Amino acid sequence: VAPPLLLQPLRIRGLRLAWRALQAPLAGYSDRAFRLMCWRYGRPGLLATEMISARAAVEGTRRQEEYMALHPEEGPVQFQLWGTEPDALAEAARICADRGAAAIDLNCGCPVRKVTASGAGVALMRDPPLLGRCVAALRRATDLPVSAKIRLGPEREGWNGAAVARLVEDAGADLLTVHGRHGRERYATPVRVEAVAAIAEAVSLPVIGNGDVRDAASAQALVRRAGVDGVMIGRGCMGDPWVFDRLRAELSGEAWEPPSLAERGRVLLENFRLLIMDMGEDRAVRHVRKLACYYSRGLPGARSFRLSLNRCGTAEAFEESVRTHFHGAAAPGSAGA
Ligand SMILES: Cc1cc2nc3c(=O)[nH]c(=O)nc-3n(C[C@H](O)[C@H](O)[C@H](O)COP(=O)(O)O)c2cc1C
């Protein structure tokens, strides 16, 4: 029997994804330390950067350089650009290609005001012709796979996702990702699978479905009900770099052993040390306090751990707290052994 669709490779232009579960771009999270953890412990079909400002990338700001820096060990990475100027996007795509991008994605879904105020992110869906010109500019600039990540529509009403998807396809994109919410919706609203299906139906390029996927049941339901060619996981990776490994095992019908608390603590510390190397101790400590909350989901004593994070001002204090809460929790039964 054929393996489940999600376990089959997907070819997008010159790029072959080993399987069809992708890591989503997560601004403020999907830095290279985060991606490396996802890769080491889950090997998703494709990784994604944080969103990179096309204009700032062209100007060569230090922050965008950081976003574009790859780790030699990580798997294929999609670089996500945001912006509204076709020329800047094209130039930024060439820079991304230079930095080792495996694919280029255009952000057409970000609802944050700082981004939409300039007409970018999900605001691009209000100007489909411009969105199409942006994709076409990326297409002309690079031979790498080009994609767009859209929502159902920019506003509460009058969703134009299917029309935008057709424009994206006509502009020469190789892949489309659809996040099944509109631009005004927050994550508490369940993803609208039928609306994703209508968009997938409207185009013939491969479509990746996104929203609320956390395990094999939710992934397969999205594939079956929306008719998409793969899935992308966002929040499910936060604090859980094993999510892809678990998904692969579930899809293959294999048993899967969850990491012990001690292992989770160890990986959190591994992630933290990479962050220190990339951003220095002060920024790393501030950042890891957010990240550690996700790693502590389901941890006995999670509350006490989260409270302790407020008092962690140094790398040493943070590491000590992780050792106490994660390793201590793993100890019962082994005490004295
Ligand atoms: C903290 C955070 C940051 C995000 N940043 C981006 C981003 O930079 N670009 C983007 O296209 N989507 C971004 N998203 C949206 C996710 O990529 C994804 O579409 C969304 O979380 C739904 O998938 P999920 O239900 O698996 O989390 C972000 C989401 C979160 C929670």
Nearest ligand 1 atom to the CA of 149 is 11
Nearest ligand 1 atom to the CA of 213 is 26
212 lines ligand 1 (CB under 6 A): yes
- How deeply is 249 buried, as exposed, middle or buried, from its count of CB atoms within 10 A (0-12, 13-18, 19+)? middle
73: pLDDT strictly greater than 60:
yes
Nearest CA to ligand 1 atom 31: 235
Residues 118-147 have pLDDT tens digits of 999 999 999 999 999 999 999 999 999 999
What is the Cβ-side half-sphere exposure of residue 244, based on CA atoms within 13 angstroms? 30
Q: 283: Cβ–Cβ under 8 A, 6 or more apart, which residues?
A: 275
Nearest CA to ligand 1 atom 10: 25
290: pLDDT strictly greater than 90:
yes
Q: Which pLDDT score, from 0 to 100, does residue 337 have?
A: 30
**Any bridge partners for residue 47, and if so which?**
77
Q: Which pLDDT score, from 0 to 100, does residue 300 have?
A: 87
Q: What are phi and psi of 49, to 5 degrees?
A: -75, 175
Distance 214 CA to ligand 1 centre (A): 14
Nearest ligand 1 atom to the CA of 108 is 11
Catalytic residues: 110
Residue appearing with tokens 């390793």: 327
Please give the model's pTM, rounded to 2 decimal places.
0.96
Nearest CA to ligand 1 atom 6: 26
Distance 160 CA to ligand 1 centre (A): 20
Distance 25 CA to ligand 1 centre (A): 6
104 lines ligand 1 (CB under 6 A): no
The CA distance from 86 to 84, in Å, is 6
Residues 40-57 have pLDDT tens digits of 999 999 999 999 999 999
Q: 155: Cβ–Cβ under 8 A, 6 or more apart, which residues?
A: 126, 182, 183, 184
Grouping H, G, I as helix, E, B as strand and the rest as coil, residue 164 is helix
Average pLDDT, the chain: 95
Q: Which pLDDT score, from 0 to 100, does residue 331 have?
A: 37
Distance 1 CA to ligand 1 centre (A): 35
Q: Which pLDDT score, from 0 to 100, does residue 298 have?
A: 85
Q: Which pLDDT score, from 0 to 100, does residue 156 have?
A: 95
